[in-house]
Amino acid sequence: MTHEIVDNMGATGPDTPGRAPWALVDRPDLVPLCPHCDRQLHEVYRRGTGFPVGQGRTLVYFCPHCSKVLGFAQGRVF
């Protein structure tokens, strides 16, 4: 099976001249698991606060099964 390398961030590593030591690879054949409840994540819920202009918007991503937090993100538009 061939997997498409999405991005290697343009960095170089000691073992891979001209290429990052890792790559982002699309894997549509795999379904990630929640690290809290171990159920398959076919979707991830998110909830945001704030407005993207000025101070920014904060997002929290969480599992649809157990509602435990998977991560945070913050974005701004100037």
Q: What is the DSSP string of 19-65?
A: S-SS-EE--TT---B-TTT--B-S--EEEEEEETBTTEEEEEEE-TT
Q: How much is the pTM?
A: 0.65
23-71 per-position pLDDT tens digit: 889 999 999 999 999 999 999 999 998 776 667 789 999 999 999 999 9
Q: How far apart are CA 22 and CA 35, in angstroms?
A: 22
Please tell me the total count of domains within the chain: 2
Do 6 and 40 fall within a single domain?
Answer: no
Fill in the amino acid letter for 78. F
Do 12 and 26 fall within a single domain?
Answer: yes
Do 22 and 10 fall within a single domain?
Answer: yes
